[in-house]
Amino acid sequence: MSGALSRLLEVVVSISAVVVALLWIPIALSFFSTDENKRFEARGRLKNALIGTLIYVLAISGVIYAVFNYVAIG
């Protein structure tokens, strides 16, 4: 059972990394653009991306904790 939970954790972490990367890629491309308007918009979206990433990480870690707690305690 421990091997299955370990594999599940790896899958969840991998999916989370892809989701967070997809969130940040457009902001990074705009942030390093030569167009000043895109850079200004990227600075505005930066705050939203930080908040979204924090909420996502907290939600995923809470779900992982709940699943492992349920499996361990029953």
Residue 1: per-residue pLDDT = 54
58/74 Cα distance (integer angstroms): 23
Mean pLDDT in order along the chain per 10 residues (74 residues): 76 85 87 87 87 85 79 75
| The residue type at 60 | I
Residue 74: per-residue pLDDT = 67
E strand or H helix at 21, and its extent? helix 2-31
70/73 Cα distance (integer angstroms): 5
Whether the CB-CB separation of 45 and 25 falls below 8 Å is answered with: no
Whether the CB-CB separation of 27 and 46 falls below 8 Å is answered with: yes
